[in-house]
């Protein structure tokens, strides 16, 4: 008999981002019409939800700057709707996408309706939230949840640092769609768009254009890579606050013809861009506590058979195994980044070995079916009162 979940998450497809993908992929596989997902309304939600196996409840969620707290309406809408569902249904457990706001609501509803509560932790929120009240609320939720799903060993350590009991933490990494992201996809039409020549190598990055991703450092490293005799082009896929900064940086370095910011690309083309590249690179770094909790994009590259270069900050060690599926370099050092790129591009046997190992690991350990099975295996978590 399938288990029934009440899932509370502000982030859910068609919202962009790895977290939204994670929840959609998992609960498609372990949910059913008796599982309910309470989430935010976004444009395109109707088409997405039409054939979804779960029962989806969409809420208009807005923050108001003049209100204290500004997210009060979000909390109240989540509370009313989840309390109603939990009162008239018996669920295996209530799953919350984050500690705040979802986890606090899940804890309160769980205690009122005698449901166990599972909260996801992603890493970034543990190191960046500075507001004292919110930070205290987050710690309370994580310490009192019946179980916390940590996306990496780095995140697990951060949870322990916050005083969360080890017995309450289970590490379950996010996954990748190994049917969509796979080797052997055609890409010649894509590289023709950027004028890639036969002797040129292609670097690829995907992700939100934010400073901690290290995309600016990749651009700064390109002259050093060129000094090694390599002719490279760099494609960056994503949107975000650093778009103008990255464009200006490339222009100031005279790299206009070598750096291509493509913005958002069609879903079906993303996997083809991974296939097109010689190496995937995202040399992430810590920026005032803002860090990479795991790095789903590294798994996407690996599933397409491509070696990856990551930074050493955050939880990327779980996504990129150094010298086995890719290289981890100092994301603060342009010289180290250039050295990692040059090494992979000038040692074709190394690149091939890393790509094959990454692909095998992604398919064996990180398929969404495997991730969903691990979450479903948690079953009815025993409620822990303290």
The predicted structure's pLDDT at residue 382: 62
Contacts of 193 (CB under 8 A, 6+ apart): none
Q: CA 194, 178, 31 angle in degrees (round to 5)? A: 125
Mean pLDDT for all residues in the chain? 94
Q: Within a domain: residue 182?
A: no
Contacts of 345 (CB under 8 A, 6+ apart): 201, 225, 230, 232, 278, 279, 351
| Residue ranges in 168-238 assigned as alpha helix (H) | 188-193, 215-227
For the cut 80, the answer to whether the pLDDT of residue 261 exceeds it is yes
What is the percent of the chain with per-residue pLDDT over 90, rounded to a whole number?
87
- Cα–Cα distance, 208 to 240 (Å, whole number): 5
Q: Within a domain: residue 280?
A: yes
Same domain? For 282 and 336 the reply is yes
For the cut 60, the answer to whether the pLDDT of residue 148 exceeds it is yes
Taking a C-beta distance cutoff of 8 angstroms, is the pair 381, 118 a contact? yes
Contacts of 123 (CB under 8 A, 6+ apart): 151, 152, 154, 155, 158, 291, 292, 293, 294, 314, 315
The predicted structure's pLDDT at residue 236: 98
DSSP 94: E
- Cα–Cα distance, 43 to 191 (Å, whole number): 31
- Cα–Cα distance, 120 to 97 (Å, whole number): 5
- Cα–Cα distance, 13 to 96 (Å, whole number): 16
CATH number of the domain that residue 350 is part of: 3.40.50.2000
Same domain? For 121 and 89 the reply is yes
The predicted structure's pLDDT at residue 67: 60
The predicted structure's pLDDT at residue 1: 65
**130-144, 219-233, 305-319, 345-359: lowest mean pLDDT where?**
130-144
Tell me the per-residue pLDDT of 213-240, one tens digit each, with 9 for 90 and over. Answer: 999 999 999 999 999 999 999 999 999 9
Same domain? For 155 and 221 the reply is no
Same domain? For 204 and 298 the reply is yes
- Cα–Cα distance, 159 to 223 (Å, whole number): 40
- Cα–Cα distance, 139 to 216 (Å, whole number): 33
Q: Within a domain: residue 341?
A: yes
Same domain? For 141 and 290 the reply is no
- Cα–Cα distance, 28 to 193 (Å, whole number): 35
For the cut 60, the answer to whether the pLDDT of residue 385 exceeds it is no
Same domain? For 154 and 303 the reply is no
For the cut 50, the answer to whether the pLDDT of residue 386 exceeds it is no
Tell me the per-residue pLDDT of 18-71, one tens digit each, with 9 for 90 and over. Answer: 899 999 999 999 989 999 999 999 999 999 999 999 999 999 988 776 666 668
The predicted structure's pLDDT at residue 72: 84
Q: Give Cα separations from 284 to 145, 164, 212, 354 (angstroms).
A: 30, 26, 6, 19
Same domain? For 141 and 230 the reply is no
- Cα–Cα distance, 268 to 184 (Å, whole number): 14
Same domain? For 14 and 107 the reply is yes
Total tally of structural domains belonging to the chain = 2
- Cα–Cα distance, 292 to 207 (Å, whole number): 11
Same domain? For 321 and 209 the reply is yes
Same domain? For 352 and 371 the reply is no
The predicted structure's pLDDT at residue 127: 83
Same domain? For 110 and 216 the reply is no
163 exposure class (CB count in 10 Å sphere: 0-12, 13-18, 19+): exposed
- For residue 353, the enclosing domain spans 188-365
The predicted structure's pLDDT at residue 280: 98
Neighbours of 288 (CB within 10 A): 10
For the cut 80, the answer to whether the pLDDT of residue 314 exceeds it is yes
- Cα–Cα distance, 336 to 232 (Å, whole number): 17
Contacts of 258 (CB under 8 A, 6+ apart): 222, 232, 233, 234, 250
Confidence tier at 80 by pLDDT (50, 70, 90): very high
What is the percent of the chain with per-residue pLDDT over 70, rounded to a whole number?
96
The predicted structure's pLDDT at residue 384: 57
Instruction: Output the six-digit token pair for 51.
Output: 């054939």
The predicted structure's pLDDT at residue 268: 86
Same domain? For 144 and 216 the reply is no
- Cα–Cα distance, 183 to 114 (Å, whole number): 47
């Amino acid at each position: 008999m399938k288990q029934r979940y009440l899932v509370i998450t502000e982030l859910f497809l068609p919202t962009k981002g790895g977290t939204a993908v994670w929840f959609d992929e998992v609960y498609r596989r372990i949910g059913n019409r008796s599982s309910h997902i309470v989430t935010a309304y976004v444009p395109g939600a109707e088409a997405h939800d039409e054939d979804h196996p779960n029962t989806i409840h969409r809420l208009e969620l807005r923050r108001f700057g003049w209100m204290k707290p500004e997210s009060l309406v979000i909390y109240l809408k989540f509370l009313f709707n989840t309390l109603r569902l939990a009162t008239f249904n018996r669920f295996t457990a209530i799953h919350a996408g984050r500690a705040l706001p979802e986890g606090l609501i899940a804890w309160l509803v769980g205690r009122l309706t005698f449901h166990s509560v599972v909260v996801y932790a992603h890493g970034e929120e543990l190191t960046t939230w500075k507001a004292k009240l919110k930070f205290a609320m987050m710690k309370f939720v994580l310490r009192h949840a019946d179980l916390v799903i940590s996306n990496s060993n780095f995140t697990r350590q951060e949870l322990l640092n916050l005083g969360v009991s080890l017995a309450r933490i289970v590490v379950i990494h996010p996954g990748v769609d190994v049917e969509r992201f796979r080797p052997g996809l055609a890409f010649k039409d894509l590289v023709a768009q950027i004028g890639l020549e036969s002797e040129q190598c292609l670097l690829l990055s995907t992700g939100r254009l934010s400073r901690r991703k290290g995309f600016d450092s990749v651009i700064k490293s390109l002259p050093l890579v060129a000094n090694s005799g390599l002719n490279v082009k760099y494609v960056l896929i994503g949107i975000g606050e650093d778009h103008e900064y990255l464009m200006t940086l490339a222009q100031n370095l005279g790299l206009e013809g070598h750096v291509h910011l493509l913005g958002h690309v069609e879903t079906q083309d993303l996997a083809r861009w991974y296939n097109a590249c010689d190496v995937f690179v995202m040399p992430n770094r810590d920026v005032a506590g803002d860090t990479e909790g795991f790095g789903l994009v590294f798994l996407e590259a690996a599933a397409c058979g491509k070696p990856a270069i990551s930074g050493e900050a955050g939880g990327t060690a779980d996504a990129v195994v150094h010298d086995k599926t890719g290289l981890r370099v100092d994301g603060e050092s342009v010289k180290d980044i250039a050295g990692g790129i040059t090494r992979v591009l000038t040692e074709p046997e190394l690149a091939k070995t890393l790509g094959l190992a990454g692909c095998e690991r992604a398919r064996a350990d990180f398929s969404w079916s495997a991730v969903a099975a691990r979450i479903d295996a948690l079953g009815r978590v025993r409620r822990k009162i303290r």
